[in-house]
Amino acid sequence: MKYKVINDQLIIEIDKTTQGQTILEYFHSMHLSKKTIHLLRQNKEYLYNHQFVDYNQVLKKGDLPQIKAFEKGIDFECFDHPLDIVYEDEFLLVINKEPGMIIHPEGKQGQHTLVNVVANYYKKTNQNYPVRFIHRLDRDTSGLIMFCKCTLLQPLLDYQIANKTIKKGYYALIEGHLQRKEMTVNQGIARDRHHNQKMIVSKQGKTACTHFKEIKSNKQISLVSAFLETGRKHQIRVHLASLNHPILSDPLYGKPYPKMPRLALHAYYLRFFHPLTNQVITLQTKTPPDFCLQSEPISQH
């Protein structure tokens, strides 16, 4: 797909995959809300071959619809802190988050969070966009997290999240060894009525499925990978605890481990379809420096 970004405008050349649609059908294919479509039309924020037309106009191959795609204005305070950037283009930014940093401030207070660091990066690189993350990681979980710069394309990423076409993989250091080298846990997850911060496996809970694979181990602990079929709160942590192999230093479901001062969970893998080009993007990081078996660094076989 050929496209061009000019200021806050996205110009797309219609190809054989989108020809024959009306402008309205094209907007629906982008999963834009009715409100967004209404505002685009009301404010005349799209053009067809350089002029505003009704959204019943049929798109033809080679046409150049132009749409307001970017909102302007950094909307968080800036915090100067190093960023480990794994992927970036005009529309997306993927960060390897360090452990111990929360994603966004509680309420409107606080500025030492990841969105504040990204806001500072946008400012330094003259990218005047709101800061919008697509998914979350807990404070002590390190790893890949995606931000979307383009307001127009964010609904396509939200749709991928909802339909589980964004694939996420994790590394975890756990107590002991899995019963089998590869195993799948299908156990529903529900809130623990006796502890408002915890989740538990429950037949009455929401469906949850996690695939585990042991990668490396020593006598006491193992490095495992985990891939999610669902996205329940604390899913990996709860499923591993239900197997009696909690993650090292898990404050809710495990116990402290002297050589691991934080929750030993790292989001190392992210696979998604680019919201504009539909190209498959696959990103991976190495295991963090603090993931080690005694003094021996861990690496994937």
Does 257 score more than 80 pLDDT?
yes
Cα–Cα distances (Å) from 21 to 60, 107, 189, in that order, read: 8, 42, 42
pLDDT score, position 111: 80
With a pLDDT cut of 90, the percent of the chain lying above it is: 85
State how far the Cα of 301 lies from the Cα of 235, in Å rounded to an integer: 25
pLDDT score, position 248: 96
Task: State how beta strands 182-186 and 142-148 pair.
Answer: unpaired
Start-to-end Cα distance in the chain: 37
Buried b (16+ CB within 10 A) or exposed e, 72-104: eebebebbeeeeeebeeeebbbbbbbebebbbe
- Kindly report, residue by residue over 110-121, the tens digit of the pLDDT: 789 999 999 999
- Hey, which residues does 133 pair with through a beta bridge? 147
* Residue position matching structure tokens 């709101």: 130
Architecture of domain 167-267: 2-Layer Sandwich (3.30)
Domain positions in the chain = 3-68, 71-163, 167-267
pLDDT score, position 108: 57
Residue 127: band (very low, low, confident or very high) from pLDDT cuts 50, 70, 90: very high
Sign of the four-CA dihedral 215, 262, 106, 129: negative
Which carries the bigger pLDDT value, residue 190 or residue 291?
Answer: 190
- Kindly report, residue by residue over 72-91, the tens digit of the pLDDT: 999 999 999 999 999 999 99
pLDDT score, position 109: 59
**Count of positions (residues) in the chain:** 301
Residue 232 has a CB neighbour count (10 Å cut-off) of 20
Alpha-carbon Rg for the chain, nearest whole angstrom, is 22
186 Cβ contact list (under 8 Å, min separation 6)? 207, 208, 209
Which carries the bigger pLDDT value, residue 194 or residue 87?
Answer: 87
- Known active-site residue 192: no
Does 161 score more than 50 pLDDT?
yes
State how far the Cα of 95 lies from the Cα of 145, in Å rounded to an integer: 5
Mean pLDDT of the chain: 93
Architecture of domain 3-68: Roll (3.10)
pLDDT score, position 291: 85
Average pLDDT over residues 128-139: 95
State how far the Cα of 171 lies from the Cα of 104, in Å rounded to an integer: 23
Least confident among 101-115, 156-170, 197-211, 241-255: 101-115
Does 200 score more than 60 pLDDT?
yes
Q: Classify burial at 33, counting beta carbons within 10 Å of its beta carbon; exposed 0-12, middle 13-18, buried 19 or more.
A: exposed
Domain 71-163 matches domain 167-267 at the CATH topology level: yes
Does 299 score more than 50 pLDDT?
no
Catalytic residue among 63, 138, 158, 290: 138
Fold observed for domain 71-163: Pseudouridine synthase (3.30.2350)
Average pLDDT over residues 22-26: 96
Residue 203 has a CB neighbour count (10 Å cut-off) of 7
Task: State how beta strands 189-191 and 292-293 pair.
Answer: unpaired
Residue type at 86 in one-letter notation: V
